[in-house]
Amino acid sequence: METPFIYGRIAKSDDYTNRKEELARLKNNFTGLINTIIISPRRWGKTSLVNRVSEILRKEQKKKMFICNVDVFNCRTEEQFYTVFANAILRASSSGWNEFVSGVKKYLGHFVPNITLSDKTQVYEFSFGVDFKDKNLSVDEILNLPQTIAKATGRKIIVCIDEFQNIHNYDNSLAFQQTLRAHWQLHDSVCYCLFGSKRHLLMNIFNNSDMPFYKFGDILFLQKIKRSEWVSFISKRFASTGKYISEDLSGEIADAMQNHPYYVQQYAQQIWLRTKKKCDETILQEALSDLVDQLSLLFANIVNSLTTRQINFLFAITDGEKNFSSKDVLEKYDFGASANIKNIKNALLEKDLIDILPDNEIVLQDPVFGIWLQQNWRV
Ligand SMILES: Nc1ncnc2c1ncn2[C@@H]1O[C@H](COP(=O)(O)OP(=O)(O)OP(=O)(O)O)[C@@H](O)[C@H]1O
Ligand SMILES: [Mg+2]
């Protein structure tokens, strides 16, 4: 029997729950060509949301728009960015191999496309050597590609760029951002949806008035999925496979994982696998201790890479502390002077272990890490 819960993959159609408001907002933005920035901690569902909206719009607006997904996670340099960008745009706007090749010729005449069939299934992959002697011309052509294709085909183009914060690490990132912005702001038939998980980096790119992308578009802080949604989702998924879980227990799953989308699905799956017919509290407890065990080596490695004060800071979060600079908290967790708090926080943000929410609340990114810390560490 196929498991009714998925994690580590994009949540599509049946696996997708709720997010009605975000779906509507994004859909509106895409059709109205309003640039959008989506920010949330890792594994809260950014890619799934963008994908879902794309699925819906592709069906509804078949002949009116191209939606193009670019993932720059593995791009370490500007050149790699351009290559991945051009590939993705050309692929999204052509329905097959022939169109793809003629697209390269038509829109990127200055490049000699190095076209290879990467395997027998005819998944075509094209790469081209960017000639940096000709850099200005090439960059213009590539960055204007969506607008050029939009004009040539009469369709709107939605360009979704995943893991956008990575551009922050490029050599001379500021100049690169200026180049992108200078081109993209002139595109009146294209909508850019830029998203990623490093909130502090993305906020610096999009919310800092000294930066080129300041006020580039609508910023959407994606939230977790609500408890009530999880309760009905989990109960339904059990029922659809002939198993039963009460609403109370479904709620406990969401609570234990603090509504974290990836973890709720993972934990629910482990519980589902252990349930023959009817789920009970013992199964929840066993599955939780299994989950924590499975991840404990990973957590131990993380902790080994931290200073005592950083560990204590995480511990203070799991204890529910809010005012880290207060005298009591500074003493209890041995933080030293209150001036240290900023450095500790920055180091943990940098390591992707904590997140500062828009209301300034500091949370651990990984709720299971929190459970593990509470079980294994004492200050
Ligand atoms: N709307 C949803 N309904 C059900 N499950 C979801 C939903 N959105 C996300 N998930 C769960 O969360 C997991 C992570 O989602 P996704 O990969 O979209 O997150 P992300 O924010 O893009 O993560 P990352 O920052 O690591 O790229 C999915 O595999 C799925 O288990
Ligand atoms: Mg993602």
What was the pLDDT predicted at 83? 83
pLDDT surpasses 50 at 131: no
Spatial separation of the C-alpha atoms in residues 284 and 190, rounded to whole Å? 48
Measuring from atom 25 of ligand 1, which residue has the nearest CA? 42
What was the pLDDT predicted at 132? 43
The finding on whether 8 has its CB within 6 A of some atom of ligand 1 is yes
Substitution candidate for ligand 1 out of 3, 14, 44 with most atoms within 8 A of CB: 44
pLDDT tens digit sequence for 164-198: 999 999 999 999 999 999 999 999 999 999 999 98
What was the pLDDT predicted at 129? 43
Residues 242 and 125 in one domain: no
pLDDT tens digit sequence for 319-342: 999 999 999 999 999 999 989 999
Query: Which residues are CB-contacts of 359 (< 8 A; sequence separation ≥ 6)?
Result: none
Residues 184 and 38 in one domain: yes
To the nearest whole number, what is the mean pLDDT of the chain?
A: 89
pLDDT surpasses 90 at 377: no
The finding on whether 15 has its CB within 6 A of some atom of ligand 1 is yes
What was the pLDDT predicted at 118? 57
| E-state strands within 113-154 | 114-117, 124-127
The token pair at 349 is 């943000």
Spatial separation of the C-alpha atoms in residues 295 and 172, rounded to whole Å? 38
The finding on whether 267 has its CB within 6 A of some atom of ligand 1 is no
pLDDT tens digit sequence for 215-234: 999 999 999 999 999 999 99
Which residues on neighbouring strands pair with residue 58, listed in sequence order?
A: none
Residues 235 and 215 in one domain: no
Q: Find the domain containing 263 and state its range.
A: 227-302
Report, as an integer, the average pLDDT of 8-19: 86
> pLDDT band at 130, cuts 50/70/90?
very low
The finding on whether 11 has its CB within 6 A of some atom of ligand 1 is yes
The residue from 200, 221, 242 where one domain ends is 221
The answer to whether position 6 is within a domain reads no
State the ligand closest to the CA atom of 51: 1
pLDDT tens digit sequence for 46-100: 999 999 999 999 888 878 999 999 999 988 988 889 888 988 898 888 777 677 7
Collapse the DSSP code of 159 into the 3-class scheme (helix H, G, I; strand E, B; otherwise coil) and give the result.
strand
Residue with the bigger pLDDT between 82 and 260: it is: 260
pLDDT surpasses 60 at 120: no
> pLDDT band at 123, cuts 50/70/90?
low
Domain CATH number, residue 256 = 1.10.8
The long-range contacts involving 277-282, CB below 8 angstroms and separated by at least 24 positions, are 277/242, 277/243, 277/244, 278/243, 278/244, 278/245, 279/238, 279/243, 279/244, 279/245, 279/246, 279/249, 280/249, 281/249
The answer to whether position 13 is within a domain reads no
What was the pLDDT predicted at 367? 95
Residues 62 and 138 in one domain: yes
What was the pLDDT predicted at 116? 56
Residue with the bigger pLDDT between 19 and 101: it is: 19
Q: Name residue 235's amino acid.
A: S
What was the pLDDT predicted at 253? 98
- How many domains does the structure of the chain reveal? 3
Residues 169 and 275 in one domain: no
The pairing of strands 124-127 and 114-117 is antiparallel
pTM across the whole model: 0.89
Residues 141 and 193 in one domain: yes
Residues 31 and 85 in one domain: yes
* 7 Cα to the center of ligand 2, angstroms: 12
Q: Which of 71-75, 102-106, 343-347, 365-369 has the lowest mean pLDDT?
A: 102-106
What was the pLDDT predicted at 100? 72
What was the pLDDT predicted at 114? 56
Instruction: Find out whether 160 and 68 touch, Cβ atoms under 8 Å.
Output: yes
Residues 80 and 200 in one domain: yes
The dihedral sign for the CA sequence 25, 27, 31, 36? positive
Domain CATH number, residue 106 = 3.40.50.300
The token pair at 63 is 């002949």
* 260 Cα to the center of ligand 1, angstroms: 9
The finding on whether 48 has its CB within 6 A of some atom of ligand 1 is yes
Residue with the bigger pLDDT between 287 and 107: it is: 287
The finding on whether 40 has its CB within 6 A of some atom of ligand 1 is yes
Measuring from atom 9 of ligand 1, which residue has the nearest CA? 45
